[in-house]
Chain A
Amino acid sequence: MKHRNSVEFEVAGEYGLFSDPVMRVGGEKFSYQIPTYEAVKGILQSIYWKPTIIWVVDEVKVMNLIQMDTKGIRPIKYFNDKNDLSFYTYLKNCRYQVRAHFIWNENRPELEEDRNEHKHHNIARRMIERGGRRDIFLGTRECQGYVSPCIFGEEKGAYDDIPELAFGMMYHGITYADEAYSEETKGKMCVRLWRAVMRNGIISFLPPWECIHRPIREMNMKKFGVDMENFSIAEEQEVMG
Chain B
Amino acid sequence: MSLFSQLYKTYEINVGKEQDPEQQMTPVAHMNANAQMEIVLNMDGELREIVVINKGEGTTLIPVTEASAGRSSGIAPHALCDTLSYIAGDFENYCETDKQKKTAAGRFKEYMENLKAWAESSWTHPKVQAVYRYLSQRKLIADSIEYGYIQVDENGKFCDKKISGQPYEKVMARFRVLGSAPGQTGTWQDDTLIKAYTDYYLSKQEGKADICYYIGEERTISENHPKGIVAANYGAKLVSANDMQGYTYRGRFQSAEQSYALSYEASQKIHSALTWLVKKEGVYVGSKDKRMFLCWNPENKKVPDIFDSLDLEGDEDEEYTPISYRRDLRKALQGYRNQFKDVDSVIILGLDAATTGRLSVTYYHELAASTFIDQINRWGETCCWYFLKFDKKKKAYFSVETPIFRRIVECAFGCERNGFLEVDDKVLKEQVQRLVKCMIEDQRISFDLVQALKNRASAPMAYKSGTLRERVLSTACAMIVKYHNRYMSKEEGEMEDMKLDETNTDRSYLFGRLLAICEKVERVTYDPGETRDPNAIRLQSAFVNHPMQTWKILEDLLKPYFQKLKPGSREHYRRMIEEIVELLNPEDEQKLNMELSEKYLLGYYLQRAELRSKKKEDQEDKEND
CA distance A193 to B266 in the complex (A): 16
Q: Give the distance to chain A from B192, nearest Cβ to Cβ, in Å.
A: 26
Q: Give the distance to chain A from B257, nearest Cβ to Cβ, in Å.
A: 9
Contact with B along A119-146 (1 / 0, CB 8 A): 0000000000000000000000000000
Given contacts A75-B247, A85-B354, contact A26 B237 (CB under 8 A): yes
CA distance A189 to B258 in the complex (A): 10
Chain B hits for A54, CB < 8 A: none
CA distance A77 to B245 in the complex (A): 9
Chain B hits for A25, CB < 8 A: 239-241, 243, 248-249, 256, 259-260
Indicate whether A30 reaches chain B with its CB closer than 8 angstroms.
yes
User: Which one of B318-326, B357-365, B417-425 is at the A interface?
Assistant: B357-365
CB pair A33–B246 under 8 Å, yes or no, is no
User: Which one of B91-99, B129-137, B211-219 is at the A interface?
Assistant: B211-219
Given contacts A86-B354, A167-B1, A212-B211, contact A22 B248 (CB under 8 A): no
- Please tell me which one of the listed residues A167, A170, A217 contacts residue B258 in the complex, with CB atoms under 8 A apart: A217
CA distance A171 to B260 in the complex (A): 10
Contact with A along B227-267 (1 / 0, CB 8 A): 00000000001111101011111101110101111100000
- What residue of chain B has the Cβ atom nearest to residue A79's Cβ? B245
Given contacts A22-B213, A89-B364, contact A30 B246 (CB under 8 A): no
For chain B, give the interface size range.
35 or more
Indicate whether A28 reaches chain B with its CB closer than 8 angstroms.
yes
User: Which one of A66-74, A109-117, A221-229, A233-241 is at the B interface?
Assistant: A66-74
CA distance A75 to B240 in the complex (A): 18
Chain A hits for B256, CB < 8 A: 25
CB pair B261–A214 under 8 Å, yes or no, is yes
Indicate whether B4 reaches chain A with its CB closer than 8 angstroms.
yes
CA distance A72 to B4 in the complex (A): 21
CA distance A216 to B211 in the complex (A): 10
CB pair A87–B213 under 8 Å, yes or no, is no
Indicate whether B374 reaches chain A with its CB closer than 8 angstroms.
no
CB pair B364–A30 under 8 Å, yes or no, is yes
For chain A, residues 14 to 35, give those with C-beta under 8 angstroms from any C-beta of chain B.
20-28, 30, 32-33
Given contacts A26-B358, A70-B364, contact A166 B216 (CB under 8 A): no
CB pair B249–A24 under 8 Å, yes or no, is yes
CB pair B362–A169 under 8 Å, yes or no, is no
Q: Give the distance to chain A from B227, nearest Cβ to Cβ, in Å.
A: 12
For chain A, give the interface size range.
35 or more
- What residue of chain A has the Cβ atom nearest to residue B255's Cβ? A217
CB pair A169–B239 under 8 Å, yes or no, is no
Given contacts A33-B1, A70-B364, A89-B364, contact A193 B216 (CB under 8 A): yes
Q: Give the distance to chain A from B532, nearest Cβ to Cβ, in Å.
A: 48
Given contacts A28-B354, A85-B355, contact A168 B1 (CB under 8 A): yes
Chain B hits for A174, CB < 8 A: 252
CB pair A169–B215 under 8 Å, yes or no, is yes
Indicate whether A2 reaches chain B with its CB closer than 8 angstroms.
no
CA distance A32 to B214 in the complex (A): 13
Indicate whether B401 reaches chain A with its CB closer than 8 angstroms.
no
Q: Give the distance to chain A from B213, nearest Cβ to Cβ, in Å.
A: 6
CA distance A195 to B2 in the complex (A): 12
CB pair A30–B5 under 8 Å, yes or no, is no
Q: Give the distance to chain B from A191, nearest Cβ to Cβ, in Å.
A: 8
Q: Give the distance to chain A from B615, nearest Cβ to Cβ, in Å.
A: 50
Chain B hits for A20, CB < 8 A: 2, 4
CA distance A85 to B350 in the complex (A): 16
CA distance A168 to B214 in the complex (A): 8
Q: Give the distance to chain A from B364, nearest Cβ to Cβ, in Å.
A: 6
CA distance A85 to B262 in the complex (A): 25
Indicate whether B352 reaches chain A with its CB closer than 8 angstroms.
yes
Q: Give the distance to chain B from A89, nearest Cβ to Cβ, in Å.
A: 6
CB pair B211–A193 under 8 Å, yes or no, is yes
CA distance A26 to B211 in the complex (A): 20
Q: Give the distance to chain B from A221, nearest Cβ to Cβ, in Å.
A: 15
Contact with A along B501-538 (1 / 0, CB 8 A): 00000000000000000000000000000000000000
> Which of the listed residues A25, A70, A72 has the most CB atoms from chain B within 10 Å of its own CB?
A25
CA distance A118 to B44 in the complex (A): 77
Given contacts A28-B361, A167-B2, contact A77 B352 (CB under 8 A): no
- Please tell me which one of the listed residues A27, A166, A170, A216 contacts residue B243 in the complex, with CB atoms under 8 A apart: A27
CA distance A194 to B217 in the complex (A): 11
CB pair B246–A70 under 8 Å, yes or no, is no
Q: A residues touching B (Cβ–Cβ < 8 Å)?
A: 20-28, 30, 32-33, 67-68, 70, 72, 75, 77-79, 84-87, 89, 166-171, 174, 189, 193, 195, 212-214, 216-217
